[in-house]
Chain A
Amino acid sequence: MAVPTSYYVVLSAAMFCAGLFGILTRSNALTFLMSVELMLNAANVNFVAFSFHHGNLTGQTFALFAMALAAAEVAIGIGIIVTLYRNFGGTDVTIAREMRW
C-alpha cells in the first residue's frame, strides 16, 4: 500500500517551514546554508512525490538536477563563508554589512 501523495507534500511543507525558521532566526552563515538546503530539499520531495502521483518520471529527473545545482550552490556558499571568516574573523552574517571590503 502506497503512502498518499498528500503526506509527502505535508512533509515537504514542514521541511520548508523549518528552513524558513532557520533563515529568519539564525545569524551564522553555515546555519543559513543548512536552512537553504532544507528548503531546497523540500522542493525535491515535492518533485518526487508528484512524479509518483502522475506516473511520469520528469519530476524525479528534475530533482536530480536540483541536487546538482544544490551542490554547486554549496561549493560557492562555503567559498564565500571562508572569505567571510578571513575578513571578519567569524561567520556571523550581521557583521559583514558591505558588499566590498
Chain B
Amino acid sequence: MKSQCINDCCDRRSYSAGSRKATSFSNPPSIKQLENRPNLKAQSSMLLIIIVIMIFVGMVVFLLGIASTVGGNEFTGLYVNNLLLSVMRTDTGYTDSKCKLVSDLVFCAYFTPEWQCAQGVPNCLELANNTITRYMTIFGNQTKSMKYLFTVTPAFVARDVSGEPISLDMGDKALKKSKAESLKIYSHPLVISKTVGSNQYTLKIQLIVSKK
C-alpha cells in the first residue's frame, strides 16, 4: 500500500512537472518523454556522483601539489658538498708532494697516472682509486652506504680522438649513465689549481651520489 501511494505521488509529481514544462514550451510532453524521466534522473544522479568524485580527486591533487615536501634538500646538498671537500682534504699518508692529500693524488692521477708516490706502491691512478674507495668505505660504515662517483675534468676543453671529453671517473661509473636523475645528487664542482713549472693546471672535481 505504501509503495503504491509513493508510486502515485511520483506519477503525480512527474505529471505536474510535465505540465509545467508543457506550459513553458507550449508542446505537451509525449508519453515517451514521460517514460524517459527516470532515466534522466538516474543520469543526473550519476552526474552528481561523478562531480563529487571529481571534487574529491581535485582536492587531493591540489593539496598534494601545494604540500611542503620534507626539507631534506638543504641537508643533502650540504652533506654531499662536505663529503667531497672532506675526502679531498684528507691526508693519504704519503709524503711526496704529488701524493700528500687526496686532491694531490687526484691531480697526479689525471696528469701523471704512471707516477709512483713511493717505492713498491701502485701508480697514482690506481692509488687514487684505492684511497678514495677506502675512505668512502670508512665513511659509509660510519654513516650510510651509498653509490658514489668522482668525476674529474680539466678546466680547459680536452677531448679524446672520438670527441668525448677526457675525464677521470672514480667510483661507480654506471652512475654517470644512469637515467634516474631524480635519485642522483650532485655536489658543487670543486676547482683545484696547481702550478707545475711555469704552467698552471686546473681541475674540476664533482661528486655524484645516489642511494644504494
Query: A and B, one complex?
Result: no
